[in-house]
Amino acid sequence: KIKALIFDVDGTLADTEDAHREAFNDAFSKAGYDWHWDRMLYKHLLSVTGGKQRIRFYLQENHPTFLDQDDIDDLILSLHKSKTDFFIRRLENGQVPLRPGIEALITECRTRGMTIAIATTTTPVNVETLLKVNLGADSLDWFACIGDGGKVPVLKPEPDVYEWVLKELGLAADETLALEDSRNGLVACQRAGVPCLVVTNDYTQDQDFSGCLAQWNSYEGVNLAALQA
Ligand code: XBP
Ligand code: MG
């Protein structure tokens, strides 16, 4: 019997990636760099999770000598901090709504007394703000725990964030179900033994989801009866 549903955030609760992408571009331009991530490039860069890791990956492929600077780690950190500020501003301006059907699914879980939790690779303040802005300040308390990129040393596709969440919940992997939008998320689930449902979006629809429990391209038709069947 499934006792908990574990939600990914980026791409799953909301189509956040274009807001992330624009926030990266804003941070680059504010710091005086003429780097620009368009949708096509970003789709490729999404193969690496975590904003700081994504900036480093971009530099490796496009400006490798830039990485030779002694203070490169601090530079990436400060670019990422600025990116987070720009992203939060977009959330607070109401530019990133939840995906259609997500609020109903969360309500359905809560009505049925099912535990809900979060497993994401993003920065904690991003999750907190996304939830507060779209579901109200109380909504943070609806989740039994929030596993994020600040809680574990390595991000998806490694299983650490799922393992952290399972430990917090005190549940076995097969007593839970995860909801993901990306291959990296699915692989993290598989490595943690968590059965995974996938709802794709424009950025992830071409990825390989073999081994997932079920795959949709929208939440239409995704409800607890369908999930537990
Ligand atoms: C989401 C991500 C994140 C965001 C950026 O992956 O990869 O890196 O794009 O977030 P998932 P930060 O949905 O699999 O968790 O810049 O805060 O790291
Ligand atoms: Mg995701």
Place of tokens 């629809």: 205
**Three-state SS for 95?**
coil
Global pTM reads 0.96
Tell me what the mean pLDDT of segment 6-23 comes to.
Answer: 98
Name 144's Cβ contacts closer than 8 Å, sequence gap at least 6: 4, 115, 116, 117, 168, 169
Q: Which listed ligand is nearest to 200 at the C-alpha?
A: 2
Mean pLDDT of 69-90: 97
Distance 61 CA to ligand 2 centre (A): 23
Residues of the chain with pLDDT > 70: what percent? Answer: 99
pLDDT of residue 226 exceeding 90, the answer is no
| Domain span(s) for CATH 1.10.150.240 in the chain | 17-92
Burial bucket for residue 166 (CB in 10 Å: 0-12, 13-18, 19+): buried
For residue 181, the ligand 1 atom closest to its alpha carbon is: 13
Work out the average pLDDT over 5-22.
98
Express each pLDDT in 102-133 by its tens digit. 999 999 999 999 999 999 999 999 999 999 99
Q: Which CATH superfamily does the domain covering 4-15+98-228 fall into?
A: HAD superfamily/HAD-like (3.40.50.1000)
Closest CA to 98 of 194, 218, 187: 218
> Between β-strands 196-199 and 176-180, what pairing exists: parallel, antiparallel or unpaired?
parallel
Rg, the chain, Cα only: 17
Q: Is the pLDDT of residue 1 over 90?
A: no
Q: Would you call 202 a catalytic residue per the annotation? A: no
Pocket residues for ligand 1 (CB within 6 Å)? 8-11, 17, 20, 49-51, 120-123, 126, 149, 156, 182, 184-185
Q: How far is the CA of 52 from the centre of ligand 1 (A)?
A: 9
ipTM of the complex model: 0.91
Mean pLDDT across 7-34: 98
Top CATH class of 17-92 equals: mainly alpha
Contact 22, 135 (CB under 8 A): no
Contact between 88 and 28 under an 8 Å Cβ cutoff? The reply is: no
Active site residue 26: no
CA of 182 to the centre of ligand 2 (A): 5
Question: If you take atom 14 of ligand 1, which residue's CA is the nearest one?
Answer: 185
Q: Is the pLDDT of residue 229 over 70?
A: no
Give the number of the atom of ligand 1 that is nearest the alpha carbon of residue 123.
Answer: 17
118 membership: H or E segment, kind and range: strand 115-119
pLDDT in tens, 191-223: 999 999 999 999 999 999 999 999 999 999 887
Residue 115 CA to ligand 1 center (angstroms) comes to: 23
Indicate where the chain has its CATH 3.40.50.1000 domain(s).
4-15+98-228
Question: For residue 152, which phi and psi values (nearest 5 degrees)?
Answer: -130, 150
What is the percentage of the chain residues whose pLDDT exceeds 90?
95
Please tell me the predicted confidence (pLDDT) of residue 224. 80
Exposed e or buried b per residue across 31-54, where buried means at least 16 C-beta atoms within 10 angstroms of its C-beta: eeeebebeeeebbebbebbbbbbb
- Which of 6, 13, 41, 49, when mutated, tests ligand 1's pocket best, judged by the most ligand atoms within 8 Å of its CB? 49
The pLDDT, as a whole number, for residue 8 is 98
